[in-house]
Every structure is written in C-alpha cells, then in structure tokens.
A = this chain, B = another copy of it.
Amino acid sequence: MSLEIFAIEGIGEVRPHDDLAEVIVEAVGADVLRHRDCLVVTQKVVSKAEGRLVAINPSDPLSHKPLVEAESVRVLRRRGDLVIAETSHGFVCANAGVDLSNVEEGFAALLPVDADRSARRIRERLRARIGVEVAVVVSDTFGRPWRRGVADVAIGCAGIAAVVDLRGSNDALGRELKVTEVALVDEIAAAADLVMGKSAGLPVAVIRGLDDAWFRDSSQHSSVQSEIVRSPADDLFR
C-alpha cells in the first residue's frame, strides 16, 4: 500500500455562506479528485463557511474569554490564561475550541455545531457537483497531556470509518490481537497536517491510497462524535 498526500493550492479566504465543496472544486479543478480520495478540511474554514464567527473587541486581549466559558460544559484545568475545557461535543481542548488565529481581526471562530454533519455535507455536495465519492475528515489542532506540541486530530468525518477495529485479527505471529481499535481519522488528520502548514493558507489536503476496507457508503454509520469521543463514564481521566 502506498499513500499520496498533497495540499490543494489556491483556496483563498473562506467567508460565511461559502459553499466549501464549490470552493474546493474551483481550486483543484473538476478532474483531479478521485473515487476514494480522502479530503481533510481544517476546522477553521468549516467554521468560517458555517458562519461560526463571533465579533470580539480586538483591543481587549480577554474579550474572547466569555465565549470560552459559554462553549465549555466542564473546565478540566486552568493555568493563567489557559483553559482546558470539555465542549458540548465532548472534545477536550484548549479554550473549548475558541480560536483567534487565522481569523479576521475582531472575530473569534467557534467549533462547528456538528462537524460530522459538516463532513457529510461537503462529501454530498462534492458527489453532486463532480460525481466523485470521496471521504471527508474535518481536522482541528489539539494539545495533548503528557506530550509537548500540538497535533491535528479529527472532529468530524464522513464516508470513512472513524475507528478501525482490529480486534480478532491475528498479529504477524498468528495470535489473536486483543484490543486494537485504531483511531483512523485521527491518524489521517495528523498525516494531512504534514502538507498543510499552520500559516501557509492550505486548509484542504487530499490523501489518496487508503485501504478500500476503511471507506463507508452513505448508508453506513461514520462519526467522530459517536466513535471517537469517549464518554466520561468510560474515561479514566475525567
């Protein structure tokens, strides 16, 4: 198996009510995307297209703080200005996903209301527009406990399994693997970030060559929300 990963060049600033599928097709052309490509789209452009922007006072460095409180259902840690909070989706991240980078001055971006739905919508619009069935992952940049540095993870997906369950498969020595549920869409989001660059204005990447068995058609369930987000009861760290 061999993968190819490339960023889509030429996507300009995305504005509220933009049709992201149309924006992508205009940038990449109608004949580049292929059946079973996986598109990774950053949260920032999804939030912008969906109008998840809130005006803040650009001269007050704390003016986004009430938004952070409003987006948090549970605060896990505070240190100085930093808040690690759980969002209504169940994501645990800095500032409950409220973000000022790569957003026009005077605005903060909130997470999409339902990024699985955002992914499904992009996938369906691309199918309607160019007749190609792609998977879509919406990615965001999260910190991690215990390890320095941020890494991209998935907050929504469509057309691809969020988690690949290898339980019951055999390892290379023929014995049954006990628990190996791989967070496929998180690995896909991380891989895509390698060609995006945080500041380069490349919000969409294409991964080509993923295992056919990982794709899901529209009748099959696929969701970061229900497959990746751990319930608090199931979580040793909440």
Contacts and interface: CB of A to CB of B under 8 A. Distances in A.
Contacts of A172: 13, 102, 199-201
A4 B104 CA distance: 34
A233 B163 CA distance: 33
Instruction: Tell me which of A1, A92, A103, A153 has the highest count of chain B C-beta atoms within 10 A of its own C-beta.
Output: A1
A169 B102 CA distance: 12
Nearest to A185: B149
In the complex, the count of this chain's copies comes to 2
Chain A interface size range: 35 or more
A230 interface: yes
Contacts of A147: 153, 183, 186, 228-230
Contact of A6 (B1, B79, B162, B238): B1
7 contacts: A1-B7, A76-B236, A145-B235, A145-B238, A147-B230, A151-B182, A171-B199
9 nearest CB pairs, A to B: A149-B183, A191-B191, A145-B237, A172-B201, A190-B190, A187-B190, A2-B6, A77-B236, A3-B5
Interface of A: 1-7, 13, 76-77, 79, 84, 86, 90-92, 101-105, 141, 144-153, 162-163, 166, 169-173, 175, 177-178, 180-184, 186-188, 190-191, 193-195, 198-201, 207, 210, 227-230, 234-238
